[in-house]
Amino acid sequence: MKRSRYLTPKRQTLIWLTLAGYAIFALFPLIWVVMMSFKSHIDIISPVPKFIFTPSFENYKAILFGGQSMQYEAGQTDFLLYFKNSCIITISAVVLSLLAGVPAAYALARYRFRFKDDIAFTFLSFRFAPEIAVIIPIYILYQKLHLYNTYVGLIFVYQLITLPLIVWIIRGYFEDISVEIEQAAKLDGYSWWGVFTKIALPLVKPGLASTAVLAFIFAWNNFIFGLILGSSDTYPSTVGALGFISYESVLWGQMAAATVITIMPPLILAIFIQKYLVRGLTMGAIRG
Amino acid sequence: MKPGERRWQDRYLPYLIILPALVLTIGILYPFILAIVYSLTDYRLVSPTRHFIGLTNYLDSFQDINFWYSLAVTLLYAGLTIIIEVPLGLGVAMLLNHEIRGIRSFRFILIIPLMMPPVIAALMWKMIMAENGILNYFIGLIGAAPVPWLANTYSLLSIVLIDVWLYTPFCAIILLAGLQSLPKEPYESAMVDRASGFFIFRHLTMPMLKPFLILAILFRTIDSLKMFDLVYATTKGSHSTMLMQVSAYYEAFRWYNMGKSLSHMIIIWVVIFIISRMLISWWNRAMQRATGTER
Amino acid sequence: MSTVVLRDVHKDYGKVKAVRGISFECADREILAILGPSGAGKTSTLKMIAGLEAVTRGEILENGRLVNFLPPEKRNAAMVFESYALYPHFTVYENIAFPLRSKSARLGAETIDTRVHEVAEMLQIESLLGRKPAELSGGQKQRVSLGRALAKRAEILLLDEPLSHLDAKLRHHMRRELKKYQRSLNTTVIYVTHDYLEALALASKIVVLNVGVIHQIGTPSEVYNNPADTFVAALIGQPSINLVPCRIQIESAEELVCISRDGSFHVPCPLAAEQLPPDCREVLVGIRPQYLQISPNLDDRGMAGEIYVSEYMGTDSIVEVKVGDHILRALTQEHNYCIAQAARIQVLKRDIMLFDMHTGKNLLNNQDRVYSTKS
């Protein structure tokens, strides 16, 4: 509902200004940190915050190429490793969830079978469960199974984030397809697999892509699983970013640079999925 | 194959299709069940044995002042975030619901905080809220004294601020979708009837927005009760910010009291379960009322 | 050989009984129409024949084989859905070619191409082959849907209200075209519709269905001239048949009269005393509008009536006459009636139908009644 005919120019400017104010609130931390990442150390610790300065790449060089080697907790020189870890774990987790979740979503959308609602609810419940409750037993299990600090171990736990999302949202997309189209395909001589691959999947492609991207973003942004079930070999960059804080001092500049690099992937991807965001955030409850 | 028989494949096909996902699910359910089992033991990681001690962990927790304190802080945190984020999100959504120039850019800018890892957001704000950070600088500009944002007295509020920064967009997006889904006709007839703006808002907009409000409250409540990332990144769990999952973390991984930690988690899980059931059934009813499909 | 036989078929959707024990047979290369209002269970029946819905009870045989559990992809049937159900992501060409590409079809690329063009030419949609369904009009979509079904050369063609979303002229045109296709392709056709004109025009056998139960199975002529009950009689015919509740009175040894409660409506009874079922005194008299004879000459015999409404339709006029408390609809080629004009109403005995008041069943069961002239 848009009451655009009631928008006098005065009102329009008022709305615009208020939104601009909120936008400043939303963007300021980001912009400030980006600036900080390009500041040299002296500029950062200056008592009067500097808005005008000569940019320098020293922070980025430090974390990417290990220009300054100092002894710190998580080892900031390993930042590239952490970034790589994030990529491997997140992408693999999403792929695994797609392979298992898309057929499951189809089954939930099209078939009636016993326990269907229970199974669907179980998927949903993962979204609401407190992580530590499941992390502790997994931590113990992983020690025994030698899965602690492994990619496989983390990829599996990340299913807790990605699988419910994919199953519930893509189920909605499948349900949006008219049943008769699939019935026509069956009558045209195709078994369930033919109907699934040639009709159902192509028709949910855009939704599928956007949901995968959304799952990627949420998985990438995760912190707690990597913190507890990973170690220096497998920390994702969200955990690695914390490594710039130590007992001695904080490497503000490098932390800022690490922060900027870490948020790049999800932010860029977010541009492409704006349309599908509401459905994703509410687990399909709102058809956006 | 006789045409009179039903093929076994047809009956079990859905189960086959769902099997891989099911395997993963069982892989996750098993630890959940272990969690419940362990919470009934005196499992400590350092000692090799664990004994079944029944509900002792739970009873101890109920008598432990720290447990109640942690629960109270968590509930306070959830309460504060919701009270601020939902109305603020509604306001932002209403502003965004106009087709003025540049509105698309605003809508994108709005979601930027939401797409960031909460830990990173916390680190950003940590840099801003430092004693000699930019925030105190601005405060100094208007003549006030610098605030120790992350010290004990203020830290909970600071984390609430970060939460608001991160998740108001969440509420705004949902409520914007709600506003945009509202049918035009009731508003048109209300305008013909010369109803006032407030009246329209209270009696037309709010009831129809109810399902969306409930959804926003549902997700924010649960995520606030579970909050870990923001606390750990800013204060690593100081006394005034000892939320339930943070204290459970330390209980398990510093003091190695797995059993006790899990009992805390089970309790908060039950709280989450109850609240979510209530909210979901409330949402169902609101949806039915809004679409006129009540029974 | 492609016969379809249904024996005591039931379909329940949970507690709702959509189809309650229907049986009929469709012979090889026959066009059978399932006629009924919405909710009659027509689409459910069609989908059970196609294998898209499970049969709750009863048997369906295709070509003598029990097919209850045969999945749709294995049945030799093709269907045109009411919603067309075109594949939105395929072009028209791909839509028509799709059934030909299935594993069970086993056709080479060249054959497929020839077939598609053949069908497209027959339906005059060749120019549309490169378009997607979203770019087509309703009539074009309908033809593509038909093309997809015909391309398969299935033995049984199922059509679910294929013309109901088309405008009147197009509908008329497609009716004739459908009949042509069926003849050239020699398939068995089962056609579902709520439009009795389509059923009468196209089918060689009509099954009248209402709320899951069959009221009558017969040829178009049988169903029109010899309706099994009031439902069938009222369903077929526009304007619909006049039904007047009457008592049977004995005038003399041979003459019986049907007379309404207030006495204003009286017509000769078409049955002799011994032909009436015992204890039958209350009946519904059925008169089709075209058999109601109106005469402005007040000296003529017949019932006293008054013109109520007159609707000019071009060749005919629909005139409503008030006889006592009853309003009767008549179809006449006289256009000059004025409202409140007095007239005399007559009906020939042979044009009168008689129905039992309680069961609605037709009391006359003349298989050999022949009707000519007006329709």
Residue A5: its pLDDT value, please?
55
The band of C152, judged by pLDDT with boundaries at 50, 70 and 90, is confident
| C11 pLDDT more than 80 | yes
Check C65 against B3: CB less than 8 A apart. yes
Average pLDDT value over all residues in chain C: 87
Dist. CA C373–CA B194, nearest whole Å: 64
Closest residue in B to C70 (Cα–Cα): B3
Using one digit for the tens of pLDDT, what is the confidence trace for C223-233?
A: 998 899 899 99
Mean pLDDT calculated for residue range B123-149: 81
Q: Which CATH number fits domain C4-230: 3.40.50.300, 1.10.8.100, 3.40.605.10, 3.30.70.580?
A: 3.40.50.300
For testing contact with chain B, the best of C7, C60, C69 (most B CBs within 10 A)? C69
Check B24 against A132: CB less than 8 A apart. no
Using one digit for the tens of pLDDT, what is the confidence trace for C181-220?
A: 878 878 899 999 999 988 998 899 999 999 999 999 999 9
Helices marked H in A112-251: 116-128, 131-145, 151-157, 159-176, 179-187, 192-195, 201-220, 224-229, 237-240
B contacts of A252 (beta carbons < 8 Å): 127
Residue C166: its pLDDT value, please?
85
Does residue C16 sit at the B interface (CB-CB below 8 Å)? no
Does residue C55 sit at the B interface (CB-CB below 8 Å)? no
The band of C366, judged by pLDDT with boundaries at 50, 70 and 90, is low
C contacts of B7 (beta carbons < 8 Å): 69, 71
Residue C173: its pLDDT value, please?
86
Annotation: CATH topology of B64-291? MetI-like fold (1.10.3720)
Query: Is residue A48 situated within a structural domain?
Result: yes
Query: Is residue A184 situated within a structural domain?
Result: yes
> Looking at the partner chain, which of A263, A281, A288 has a beta carbon nearest the beta carbon of B170?
A281
| B8 pLDDT more than 70 | no
C contacts of B4 (beta carbons < 8 Å): 66, 68-69
Check B3 against C71: CB less than 8 A apart. no
| C269 pLDDT more than 60 | yes
Residue A4: its pLDDT value, please?
47
| C60 pLDDT more than 80 | yes
The residue among A124, A48, A101, A158 whose CA lies nearest residue B21 is A101
Mean pLDDT calculated for residue range B265-288: 89
Dist. CA C231–CA C215, nearest whole Å: 8
Check A128 against B276: CB less than 8 A apart. yes
Using one digit for the tens of pLDDT, what is the confidence trace for C327-342?
A: 899 998 888 888 888 8
- Give the A window 253-282 contacts with B, CB below 8 Å: 255-256, 259, 262-263, 266-267, 269-271, 274, 277-278, 281-282
Query: Is residue A187 situated within a structural domain?
Result: yes
Residue C257: its pLDDT value, please?
83
> Looking at the partner chain, which of A19, A22, A278 has a beta carbon nearest the beta carbon of B173?
A278
Question: Look-up: residue for tokens 């709600």?
Answer: B178
- The alpha carbon of residue A182 is apart from the nearest alpha carbon of chain B, in Å, by 16
| B144 pLDDT more than 80 | no
Residue A249: its pLDDT value, please?
66
Instruction: Give the residue with greater pLDDT, B30 vs C257.
Output: B30
Closest residue in A to C88 (Cα–Cα): A203
Report the percentage of chain B scoring pLDDT > 90: 40
Pairing of strands C213-218, C326-332: unpaired
B contacts of A256 (beta carbons < 8 Å): 127
Residue A32's Cα: distance from chain center in Å? Answer: 23
CB C151 within 8 A of CB C159: no
Measured over the CA atoms of residue B287, residue B289, residue B292 and residue B293, the dihedral's sign is: positive
Token representation of residue C84: 């067309």
Q: What is the pLDDT along chain A (288 residues), one digit of tens a residue?
A: 445 456 788 888 888 899 999 999 999 999 988 988 888 877 777 777 777 778 888 888 878 776 444 444 334 468 888 999 999 999 999 999 999 999 999 999 999 888 898 999 898 889 899 999 999 999 999 999 999 999 999 999 999 999 999 999 999 999 999 999 999 999 999 999 999 999 999 999 999 999 999 999 999 999 999 999 998 889 999 998 887 776 666 778 888 888 899 999 999 999 988 888 888 888 888 876
Residue C184's Cα: distance from chain center in Å? Answer: 23
- The alpha carbon of residue C60 is apart from the nearest alpha carbon of chain B, in Å, by 11
Q: Chain B interface residues facing chain C, Cβ-Cβ under 8 Å?
A: 3-7, 10
- Give the B window 23-52 contacts with A, CB below 8 Å: 23-25, 27-32, 34-35, 38, 45
Residue A1: its pLDDT value, please?
45
* Domain residue limits, chain B: 64-291
Residue A6: its pLDDT value, please?
66
Dist. CA B81–CA B167, nearest whole Å: 9
- The alpha carbon of residue A89 is apart from the nearest alpha carbon of chain B, in Å, by 15
Neighbours of C286 (CB within 10 A): 21
- The alpha carbon of residue A209 is apart from the nearest alpha carbon of chain C, in Å, by 16
Q: Which residues pair with C10 in a beta bridge?
A: C20, C57
Annotation: CATH topology of C235-356? OB fold (Dihydrolipoamide Acetyltransferase, E2P) (2.40.50)
Dist. CA C328–CA C321, nearest whole Å: 5
| B11 pLDDT more than 80 | no
Check A190 against C102: CB less than 8 A apart. yes
Token representation of residue A112: 């009636």
Q: Could you give the ipTM of this predicted complex?
A: 0.89
Q: Which chains touch A (3 or more CB pairs under 8 A)?
A: B, C
Residue A248: its pLDDT value, please?
61
- The alpha carbon of residue A195 is apart from the nearest alpha carbon of chain C, in Å, by 10
The residue among A94, A106, A63 whose CA lies nearest residue A253 is A63
Query: Is residue A287 situated within a structural domain?
Result: no
Neighbours of A55 (CB within 10 A): 11
Query: Is residue A71 situated within a structural domain?
Result: no
Average pLDDT value over all residues in chain B: 86
| C285 pLDDT more than 60 | yes
Q: Say if residue A25 is in the same domain as residue A110.
A: no
Q: Chain A interface residues facing chain C, Cβ-Cβ under 8 Å?
A: 178, 180-181, 183-191, 194, 198-199, 202-203
C contacts of A180 (beta carbons < 8 Å): 81, 83, 85
Closest residue in A to C153 (Cα–Cα): A188
Does residue C77 sit at the B interface (CB-CB below 8 Å)? no
* Domain residue limits, chain C: 4-230, 235-356
Whether omega for the bond prior to residue C239 falls within 30 degrees of 0, making it cis, is yes
- The alpha carbon of residue B18 is apart from the nearest alpha carbon of chain A, in Å, by 4
- The alpha carbon of residue B250 is apart from the nearest alpha carbon of chain A, in Å, by 11
Question: What is the tally of structural domains in chain A?
Answer: 2
Pairing of strands C242-250, C213-218: unpaired
Q: Say if residue A45 is in the same domain as residue A80.
A: no
Backbone angles phi, psi at C228, to 5 degrees: -70, -30
Mean pLDDT calculated for residue range B13-39: 91
For testing contact with chain A, the best of B16, B41, B45, B100 (most A CBs within 10 A)? B100
Check A180 against C81: CB less than 8 A apart. yes
Check B3 against C67: CB less than 8 A apart. yes
CB A134 within 8 A of CB A143: no
With a CB cutoff of 8 Å and minimum separation 6, the contacts of A29 are B121, B124, B125, B128, B165
Q: Which chains touch C (3 or more CB pairs under 8 A)?
A: A, B
B contacts of C69 (beta carbons < 8 Å): 3-7
> Looking at the partner chain, which of C65, C67, C69 has a beta carbon nearest the beta carbon of B6?
C69
Q: Which residues pair with C268 in a beta bridge?
A: C257
The residue segments making up the domain with residue A200 are 76-281
The residue among A216, A74, A218, A83 whose CA lies nearest residue B229 is A218
Mean pLDDT calculated for residue range B21-47: 87
Residue B66: its pLDDT value, please?
87
Check A22 against B233: CB less than 8 A apart. no
Residue A159: its pLDDT value, please?
95
User: Across the A/B interface, how many CB contacts are shorter than 8 Å?
Assistant: 248
User: What are the angstrom distances between the C-alpha of C229 and each of A15, C33, C198, C284?
Assistant: 70, 18, 20, 10
Domain with residue A163: its CATH number is 1.10.3720.10
- Give the C window 46-65 contacts with A, CB below 8 Å: 47, 50-52
